[in-house]
Amino acid sequence: MKNELIKTIKQKKELSGLVDSVVKTALNNYLNKYRIELANLSQKQKKIIVKDLRAELRILTGRFQKSLKNREKLFKEGDFQKILKTHSSTAERLEFYPELKKIVASLKPASILDLGCGLNPLALANPKIKYHASDIKQDELSLVKKFFKKNKIKGETFICDLRNLKKNLPRADLCLLFKVLDVIEKKHARKILTTVPCTRLIVSFSTRKLSGKPMNFPKRIWFEVLLKKLNFPFKTFKSENEVFYFVEKGS
């Protein structure tokens, strides 16, 4: 029954690239929360579960995906700029990537851990830096892996659900968390910050509402309060669509 529900949930195009383990975790949490026994479900109840979980999973990932069309064709042509435009998060960041690359280069990292990477590595990875890229979407990780191979980048890809973070993450000089903490519950932020084996992080948040309008208060005060509690110094910088926090954890 669980496998059947997982398969049904993933029939939506925007969720089809999710790994089964992420959908299974969401399903188990839902069943436990509402104390539901699968054996007793009616067809109507199944439809409600599928609808609710699709809505939850879209928040995690679907909101960033604009189009899957022609990615393979664009990849063969080497048109990575156009590929970046197929993901709303990287599309919004497109004009700021050159500045972002300068900021990253100024930190001189030998390695990067990119959590919730999406298509970010296509813009930031280069052969001089070892790049660990993770996400919950297998289709995008497959594309990133092909990009690493084609451009001779020392990189790896792996599945990582930040709501169930493991302690065996690869160690790196710099961790990137772009537009990630807004789409998972705030309670996970502390664990993520303290668990990632990196002394420096760049964390970003959108400064626009889902409607596209600018937020009145784009800074994340709750995040700044958390950083102060953890005694992690931070600085901020902005682009047109994001506010970035450069965080130092110390050694």
Read off the pLDDT of residues 16-67 as tens digits, 9 standing for 90 and up: 888 998 899 999 999 998 888 888 888 999 999 999 999 888 877 755 555 5
C-alpha–C-alpha distance, residues 143 and 92, integer Å: 19
Share of the chain above pLDDT 70, in %: 95
Pairing of strands 200-206, 242-248: antiparallel
DSSP 241: S
Q: What percent of the chain has pLDDT over 90?
A: 67
Task: Report pLDDT digits (tens) over 85-127.
Answer: 888 888 889 999 999 999 999 999 999 999 999 999 999 999 9
User: Across residues 5-9, what is the average pLDDT?
Assistant: 95
What is the three-class DSSP state of 169?
A: coil
**pLDDT average, residue stretch 66-75:** 73
Of how many residues is the chain composed?
Answer: 251
Pairing of strands 234-238, 242-248: antiparallel
pLDDT computed for residue 64 by the predictor: 52
CA distance linking residue 119 with residue 83, whole number of Å: 8
Domain residue spans of the chain: 2-60, 71-248
Which pLDDT score, from 0 to 100, does residue 68 have? Answer: 57
Query: Alpha-carbon distance 45 to 39, whole Å?
Result: 11
Contacts of 14 (CB under 8 A, 6+ apart): 58, 61, 62, 65
Instruction: Return the pLDDT at 182.
Output: 87
Residue 198: other Cβ atoms inside 10 A: 24
Report how far apart the first and last C-alpha atoms of the chain are (Å, whole number). 47
Widest distance between CA atoms in the chain: 59
Instruction: Domain 71-248: give its CATH code.
Output: 3.40.50.150
The pLDDT value given to residue 207: 95
Residue 93 vs residues 49, 55, 62, 66, 127: alpha-carbon distances, Å: 35, 25, 17, 14, 22
Q: Alpha helices, DSSP H only, in 61-199?
A: 71-77, 80-84, 88-93, 97-106, 121-124, 138-150, 187-195
pLDDT confidence bin for 245, thresholds 50/70/90: very high
Can you give the pTM of this predicted structure? 0.85
Cα-based angle 36, 181, 172 (whole degrees, multiple of 5): 115
